[in-house]
Amino acid sequence: MNTSSGISKITTLATVALMALVLSTQAGWKPGTTLPDLSKFQLEGNIPANLSGKVILIDFWASWCGPCKASFPVLNDLQNDYASKGLLVIAVNQDKTPALMTAFLEEHTVSFLTLRDANNLLVEAADVQSMPSSFIVDRSGKIRFVHTGFHGEKSTAQYKEEIEKLLNEKEGGKK
């Protein structure tokens, strides 16, 4: 094998490996995907040390998003109604500056956890394409339901049904 063909093969292999890496990171979160360790994404805010055994609703939002504004009272009600049964709502903001998030939260007081993804690392890992996007995670850490957008009463009913289903399951997906 001559040097140029060896370099060509290495370049081809490197390109294929890079493409596979890019495609795997763009795959995003789907039902059955394990929720990654949130502490690895440089999120601003206090991430609970142990999320194990919780049903988690992760909602990606931005201050400029009208449907996000409409969803916040619903997310707040869900947190208040189901927290004692094991639900944790986490809202992940993707605004460029903290001031935008702070101003939004001053107008929309909430009882759920809010974090900011300043570098969009978690947004990219989840492959969030629109605001809001929500992922509901079961007690064993598997994403079970995915929602794109917020559709008022329809979304509210779906959230409740899915959350109640997961809260009634033991860790591992069985009653």
Per the annotation, the verdict on 88 as an active-site residue is no
- Decide if 134 contacts 117 (C-beta within 8 A): no
What distance in Å separates the CA atoms of residue 54 and residue 12, rounded to the nearest whole number? Answer: 44
Interval 15-64: pLDDT, tens: 444 444 444 444 689 999 999 999 999 999 999 888 989 999 999 999 99
pTM: 0.82
Between 90 and 10, whose confidence is greater? 90
Element (H, E) at 88: strand 87-93
Question: How far apart (Å, rounded) are the C-alpha atoms in residues 56 and 52?
Answer: 10
CA distance 95 to 105: 12
Copy the structure tokens of residue 19.
């493409």
pLDDT digits (tens, 9 = 90+) for 91-113: 999 999 999 999 999 999 999 99
Using CA atoms, how far apart are residues 49 and 71, in angstroms rounded to an integer? 26
What is the residue whose two structure tokens read 């509210």?
Answer: 156
pLDDT value at residue 25: 43
Residue of 55, 65, 92, 131 with catalytic role: 65
Homologous superfamily of 31-168 = Glutaredoxin (3.40.30.10)
Best CA proximity match to 34, nearest among 139, 174, 112, 118: 139
- Active-site residue, selected from the candidate residues 57, 62, 68, 91: 68
Is 68 known to be catalytic?
yes
